[in-house]
């Protein structure tokens, strides 16, 4: 799916390319670079754009094309730098924003991508169609499922035949706890024939219902149908963890990370597994990657605080936990760990206070327990 959407990037780049006017001198260099770009000689094109930009450093078009060539060559960080320089000259350029968003998207930085997509759509409503699915994908990656649903729900009738739409929409609905609606979307997907996406969503739903064997069959089928479907290996890893199969879970998360080194769920779980094994440096590396995908994610920051506490840095743990509680006063685990941190720092009164809060939150959670839940 990402590769299909990535073509938007190239189309926009081509649009900009066709807008160039041939000219003598530096313009000839630019035209040659464009020709190389179109011919697929990306290294030659990049050299040409840079040569032109040495003479015409303020050319937004040439810098944007350079960014596009770099992105197409997979050199996303350099592309992002060039797009940013172009945007400094033309900050309200929706095409540039869209291309920059795509570069961020490709590098697994959905927060940055979403910000550019939102801005591009607000500046150029004609981009809204192109942006909607990308933005929804970003929201799903960021765990902002309600925002994804708000974006997609109005389009359900219009996109009822769009497999990509259904997959994103179903993912958001199930993650948001709207299982019945999610199941309807799954039915729609599978009515078109067996698919990796449909199986992934169905396996996810079964996993939520504690139908472990059913979920396992669906997830394995999903991977058999498309071993490169984003998220499938990660979900399988989560299922294997619930079965106590931590070694196989590690393998599954590793396969997900081979496809996308910044995938959130796998980095988080690999970090937690490393932390349980007291491989704290390794845990920290995974958590940092998870934070790249979801900056400021409270769950990851909480895990980092636990690593700090375990590695003899209770004061850093305290700072993180206090910040988390400032943002989310009902974060039970953060209160509980902060109590221990305070006791470790010989701040007994603060420890007693946090302990009491943790107990109160525990009691509230227990009172809300409905009963229809397995261990």
Nearer to other proteins, 259 or 310 (CB): 310
Q: Which of 279, 282, 322, 350 binds other proteins (CB under 8 A)?
A: 279
Rounded to whole angstroms, the Cα distance separating 83 from 12 reads 13
The yes or no reply on residue 339 touching other proteins (CB under 8 A) is: yes
365: Cβ–Cβ under 8 A, 6 or more apart, which residues?
332
* Contact by Cβ (8 Å): 30, 48: yes
The yes or no reply on residue 310 touching other proteins (CB under 8 A) is: yes
The least CB distance from residue 259 to other proteins, in Å, is 25
Nearer to other proteins, 136 or 215 (CB): 215
The yes or no reply on residue 246 touching other proteins (CB under 8 A) is: yes
What distances in angstroms separate CA 168 from CA 106, 161, 238, 327, 330, one per listed residue?
Answer: 17, 13, 20, 29, 30
Size of the site for other proteins (CB under 8 A): 42
Binding mask 57-96 for other proteins (x = CB under 8 A): ----------------------------------------
The structure tokens 């799903």 sit at 140
Nearer to other proteins, 8 or 361 (CB): 361
The least CB distance from residue 349 to other proteins, in Å, is 13
* Contact by Cβ (8 Å): 64, 79: no
Rounded to whole angstroms, the Cα distance separating 260 from 284 reads 18
Q: Which of 344, 345, 350, 353 binds other proteins (CB under 8 A)?
A: 344
62: Cβ–Cβ under 8 A, 6 or more apart, which residues?
30, 33, 49, 52, 53, 56
- In degrees, rounded to 5, the angle at the alpha carbon of residue 22 between the alpha carbons of residues 66 and 56 is 45
Nearer to other proteins, 145 or 342 (CB): 342
* Contact by Cβ (8 Å): 67, 86: yes
The yes or no reply on residue 281 touching other proteins (CB under 8 A) is: no
Interface contacts to other proteins, rule CB under 8 A: 209-213, 241-247, 272, 275-279, 302-303, 306, 310, 333-334, 336-337, 339-340, 343-344, 351, 355, 362, 365-366, 369-375
């Amino acid at each position: 799916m990402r590769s299909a959407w990535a073509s938007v990037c190239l189309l926009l780049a081509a649009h900009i390319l066709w807008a160039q006017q041939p000219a003598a001198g530096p313009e000839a260099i630019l035209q040659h670079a464009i020709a190389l770009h179109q011919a697929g000689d990306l290294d030659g094109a990049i050299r040409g754009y840079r040569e032109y930009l040495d003479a015409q450093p303020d050319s937004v078009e040439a810098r944007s094309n350079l960014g596009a060539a770099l992105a197409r060559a997979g050199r996303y960080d350099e592309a992002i730098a060039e797009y940013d320089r172009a945007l400094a000259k033309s900050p309200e350029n929706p095409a540039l924003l869209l291309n920059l968003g795509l570069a961020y998207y490709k590098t697994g930085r959905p927060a940055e991508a979403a910000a550019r997509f939102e801005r591009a759509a607000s500046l150029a409503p004609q981009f809204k169609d192109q942006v909607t699915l990308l933005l929804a994908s970003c929201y799903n990656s960021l765990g902002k499922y309600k925002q994804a649903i708000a974006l997609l729900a109005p389009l359900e009738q219009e996109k009822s035949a769009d497999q990509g739409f259904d997959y994103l929409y179903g993912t958001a609905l199930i993650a948001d706890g709207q299982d019945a609606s999610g199941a309807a979307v799954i039915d729609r997907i599978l009515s078109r024939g067996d698919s990796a996406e449909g199986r992934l969503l169905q396996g996810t739903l079964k996993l939520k219902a504690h139908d472990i064997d059913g979920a396992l069959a669906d997830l394995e089928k999903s991977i058999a149908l498309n071993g490169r479907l984003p998220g499938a290996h990660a979900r399988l890893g989560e299922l294997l963890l619930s079965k106590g199969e931590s070694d196989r879970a590690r393998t599954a998360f590793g396969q997900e990370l081979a496809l996308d080194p910044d995938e959130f769920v796998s980095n988080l779980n690999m970090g937690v597994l490393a932390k349980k094994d007291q491989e704290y440096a390794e845990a920290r590396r995974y958590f940092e990657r998870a934070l790249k995908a979801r900056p400021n994610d409270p769950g990851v920051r909480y895990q980092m605080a636990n690593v700090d506490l375990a590695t003899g840095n209770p004061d850093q743990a305290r700072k993180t936990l206090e910040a988390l509680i400032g943002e989310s006063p009902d974060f039970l685990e953060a209160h509980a760990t902060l109590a221990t941190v305070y006791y470790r720092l010989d701040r007994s009164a603060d420890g007693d206070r946090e302990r009491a809060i943790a107990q109160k939150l525990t009691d509230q959670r227990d009172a809300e327990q409905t009963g229809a839940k397995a261990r």
